[in-house]
């Protein structure tokens, strides 16, 4: 049995993972999906990692998954716990000393999003969350997800990523081919530049755990088995 440690994105909650959690539990695995203390404006990245480590307790056989902004927290957890696989899911990939605030300009996100928006009719980077985040998610489910959104700590936003190097843990990157927030070409380049890896690709939007939980579970269980 593997314990999947699921770390949500910015301003979100552990509920985000509930469909994926059901898929993983139905296959005999354990799941930990805590709420990060992102609505505490004094909380930094260290406190985010503390919350996850505390929720894991003494569990072993861990696969840690960080989605979107959770990419800043997941490697901190992998650096502190005995993790078998670290998975970044449509995630930000930090560099040592980089703040989440600076990540966007450092990675060339704006130009990449603008170029993709020109190809897809303005869907990428849309101000409408049902287009940029929840395309492909049933409307009622997307509305419920939005209703659970929280504020995001400004302290974490300007905090330099504290590790000197990427943790020595097998790392996978998953991109979503229908992502209207982080263009697939942008993530392919970033994964190559910052991790030296080629992403695995699945259908679905940025919030793929809500749009394609079964396909995502298949991929994660495969990582655990491999």
Task: Give the span between the Cα atoms of 23 and 221, in whole angstroms.
Answer: 10
- In this prediction the pTM is 0.97
Q: pLDDT tens across 49-80, in order? A: 999 999 999 999 999 999 999 999 999 999 99
Q: Which of 206, 19, 18 is nearest to 129 (CA)?
A: 206
SS3 113: helix
Ordered structural domains, the chain, with CATH: 3-225 (3.40.50.1820)
The count of other CB atoms within 10 Å of the CB of residue 16 is: 23
pLDDT at 173 (0 to 100) = 98
HEC string of 30-90?
Answer: EEECCCCCCCCCCCCHHHHHHHHHHHHCCCCCEEEEEEHHHHHCHHHHHHHCCEEEEEEEC
Q: pLDDT tens across 98-113, in order? A: 999 999 999 999 999 9
Round the average pLDDT of the chain to a whole number and report it.
97
């Amino acid at each position: 049995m593997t314990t999947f440690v699921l770390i949500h994105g910015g301003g979100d909650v552990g509920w985000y993972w509930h469909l994926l959690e059901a898929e993983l539990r139905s296959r005999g695995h354990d799941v930990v999906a805590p709420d990060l203390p992102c609505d505490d404006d004094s909380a930094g990245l260290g406190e985010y990692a503390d919350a996850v480590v505390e929720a894991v307790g003494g569990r072993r056989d861990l696969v840690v998954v960080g989605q979107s902004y959770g990419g800043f927290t997941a490697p901190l957890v992998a650096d502190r716990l005995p993790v078998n696989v670290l998975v970044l899911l449509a995630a930000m990939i930090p560099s040592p000393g980089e703040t989440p605030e600076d990540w966007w300009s450092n990675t060339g996100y704006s130009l990449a999003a603008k170029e993709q928006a020109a190809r897809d009719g303005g869907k990428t980077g849309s101000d409408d969350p049902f287009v940029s985040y929840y395309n492909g998610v049933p409307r009622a489910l997307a509305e419920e997800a939005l209703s659970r959104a929280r504020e995001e700590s400004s302290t974490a936003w300007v905090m330099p990523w504290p590790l000197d190097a990427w943790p020595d843990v097998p790392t996978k990157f998953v991109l979503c081919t229908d992502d209207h927030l982080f263009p697939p070409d942008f993530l392919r380049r970033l994964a190559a530049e910052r991790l030296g890896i080629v992403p695995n690709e699945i259908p679905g939007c940025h919030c793929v755990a809500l749009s394609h939980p079964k396909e995502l579970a298949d991929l994660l269980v495969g990582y655990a088995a491999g």
